Structure 1
């Protein structure tokens, strides 16, 4: 597979490592002789180390054969988070370390999650693009605040802190972009 075919969520093998692609940025050439670069950010699925590298469009990478399964988060305990395959009802547990980037968005019963499965083992999960979370703590809402006014920090049910408009109050449920970690709207 050529590097210009790499997309978010794919897994490819490079130097004996399986890399989960989390972000692809295309950099067009600034001169006629330059070639388009594909800046890939991701994570090694085994060591959990961050991966970042630029590829030329015609460089070859080896895709890894994976299946995707829709899963729902059941619960979190001392061992990590347990997910259930929506079709087969199989349960998988991933450690907190394996879910480091996703923990701020995971809550019991969360749906829309995709598990990446290879050889019967879940290697990683992908979150839905937006996640609804409840505000547990923030400064009191201001009745006169407009929607385009200043923001304030709010702590959500999972511990994630995001900037929200001043008019929001604790107890309200908001939508958060799971990639940029930014407030989108009320849920």
Structure 2
């Protein structure tokens, strides 16, 4: 429900003419009545809302938090870092690091303090990867045991590290639609093939290609052998360490 300050965001065309003192500390049903009346009485706002083109968001930079999903430039992003900055006499702003939920691309973006933001409400759920069915990856909810197909293109490059039984985080909207899939930052995988390692060579600055159990190829140190288990960063696709 949109109440209080949120109504001000939506009723921007007539807010200046409303007796604000009458709305302050009013019950939610009164505020909702004002909100709905705005649509009925104002012939400009109603068509905009029906088209879904409301010019202002449902949150501001003051609501930022890690893991928050926002719509920015017509794409979905999750906030991985944010810092409020107040540079003396200059206007305050928020510096953020955003991760694209479709392709995993990470950018740094600055927002002026108080900027309206379009937040996308999502629920984080754990789903286990079962098998591949054509171009779909079949997952099972670890709590309800429901199964769901997810298109391959939703994963990005990190899909090459996914193996059966791995548990991922699925972002689901209010209509139970899958918004994005997030793999764990690190996964342990078995090396299927690689050139034999050099005995006693523990150098990590010289690498060789190795094929993992999922078919992915990563560069590993010379001492890694077939059958070894290694930890891979799914965000960068790089070798991290050999698992003891």
Higher strand share: 1
| Whole-angstrom CA distance in 2 between matches of 1:50 and 1:132 | 23
Change (3 A) 1:53 1:19: farther
User: Which residue, out of 1, 7, 12, partners 2:70?
Assistant: 12
Alignment size in residue pairs: 182
**Corresponding residue for residue 65 of structure 1:** 121
- Checking the alignment, whether the CA contact within 8 Å between 2:197 and 2:223 is kept in structure 1 is yes
Post-superposition CA distance 1:127-175 (Å, at most 9, x none): 1121011112221111120144522222222232222111111121111
Give unmatched runs, 5+ long, in structure 2. Answer: 1-58
Give 1:41 shift: 3.9
Higher helix share: 2
Change (3 A) 1:179 1:57: farther
Whichever of the two has the greater Rg, that structure is: 2
**Corresponding residue for residue 55 of structure 1:** 110
User: Which residue, out of 139, 144, 156, partners 2:200?
Assistant: 144
Give unmatched runs, 5+ long, in structure 1. Answer: none
The answer on 1:92 being equivalent to 2:128 is no
Give SS of 2:160's match.
Answer: helix
Q: Higher relative contact order at CA 8 Å, sep ≥6: structure 1 or structure 2?
A: 1
| Whole-angstrom CA distance in 2 between matches of 1:99 and 1:71 | 14
- Checking the alignment, whether the CA contact within 8 Å between 1:135 and 1:157 is kept in structure 2 is yes
Give SS of 1:184's match.
Answer: strand
